Structure 1
Amino acid sequence: MTTFTTAQIPALTGRTVIVTGANSGIGRFAATALAGRGARVVLAVRDPAKGAAAAAGMTGDVEVRRLDLADLASVRAFAEGWTGPIDLLINNAGVMIPPPTRTADGFELQFGTNHLGHFALTNLLLPQVRGRVVTVASSAHRAGKIDFADLNWERRPYRAFPAYAQSKLANLLFTAELHRRLTEAGSPVLATAAHPGLAATNLLGHLDDRSRWNRLQTAVVNRFAQSEADGASPTLYAAVADVPGGSYAGPDGLFEGRGAPKLVGRSKKARDGAVARRLWTVSEELTGVTFPLAAQPAR
């Protein structure tokens, strides 16, 4: 089997790509690679100044638009301002193990940003998507649990990593249910997911480096992580390779920590269709955004 590399990305002239959180990390590398193959790439970022700095280092047709996934008003404004078809939507932006923080709408920051923000964005843009939706998850989903009684950590003491793991499990359940709904609607759009393994990004950049434990975490990640380029490979693989809807890509190395991208497995919890459907319904209630496509009548 041939190992996937960015050289295998097909020519994308005339295609439009949106990458959330593309001002740094694997999102920036993915955007750079896709723009380099001729795509029109939109960097959907919370800080336009940082987005412009990232865009300045890219070649091709690149633009920057503001999108704050922790604010549903910003998500709606982005979607309302969009015109034209979308060939590829990459739900890449995310936050990881921050201190207790709420979104503009009162959600726990990781669940609100990593899952609900992308849930709303995808459904609002879906009528214009004609290619693929890729959502970046994490191997941390295996430690996750969807606690419907306390999705936003209002009844329990906040624990950053379990909250992160819940949000990443939600990413995979979202992808599975999106794939099911797209199939039922007879849509040609594919929903896939990917995880970068252990990649050196700025996800841990919010940690207070005065803490010895935080410094240790950062040092371990930086010592054993693969590069941003390698970390972006599963995302690009899920975006352009010949894979079926519902696929999940990750590194092929030990514990999926690093290596070339391939299709990988997911936890039993991530394959629970009943939980995926329930999470979708709850997410619609929390965001006020619903699936925009009608199911095709049975033949």
Structure 2
Amino acid sequence: MSLAIADRISSARPFRWPRLSRARWLSPVLLLALWELGSRLGVIPERVLAAPSTVAETFWALTISGELPANLLVSLARAAAGLAIALVVAVTLGLVAGLSRLGETAIDPLMQIKRTIPSLALTPLFIVWFGIGETPKIVLIAVATTFPIYLNLFAGVRGIDVRLVEAARSFGLSGWSLVREVILPGALPSFFVGLRYALGVSVLVLVVAEQINAQAGLGHLINNARDFMRTDIIVVCLLVYALLGLGADALVRTLERRALAWRPSLVEQ
């Protein structure tokens, strides 16, 4: 390939990306327009699905009244508590299993058994054990999000180049200093993958957990809206759940970029 052709290709690429990024919004906007049109023409009844304009008005009204922010904070607290427990358990088990054959033999079979059991299937059991208060909701989120973090951290620890460990030992590193300076930084990329996946799972499980006699939270709003056939409120809460997941993922991606700033990325080459 000649230099002239290569320069022409490289100069054409920057102009293509803005058009593609704008085109990504075409299908969602078209869907919203068809949805609104169908609602106004009566093709989509209000009791089946509220119009986007009605959903927007309801969102604004719930926000101004403080009802939506208050219930959102309750849901965030539940998700954060479950994830905090999952992080402590998963990181501990992942490091023990990843750094020791004995630890792997003792821990990994139990985690694989847990993997084959759907977390949501444990809901009735948790209700029997913990009642219908906050505890079963938090425990359900913790149990569901532990395995993704554990599995990716375990794989990250086991995937570290042995030559790096040997080089570190030749410089006098051992024990906790070796784990802190070599093992943990090397396993961070896999850990963040597991954390991002766990955040998605936490939102999914939160939707189900908040159906367990919730007295506050987004699930509480959905239950009340269901009783009064308020599809606009249901859609608002579902959108907030979606935005919650996207926001959490964006936060982890930001933390990942800062924590792994030392690591070259393929797309940055």
TM-score normalized by structure 2?
Answer: 0.27
Which has more strand, going by share of residues? 1
Which has more helix, going by share of residues? 2
TM-score normalized by structure 1?
Answer: 0.25
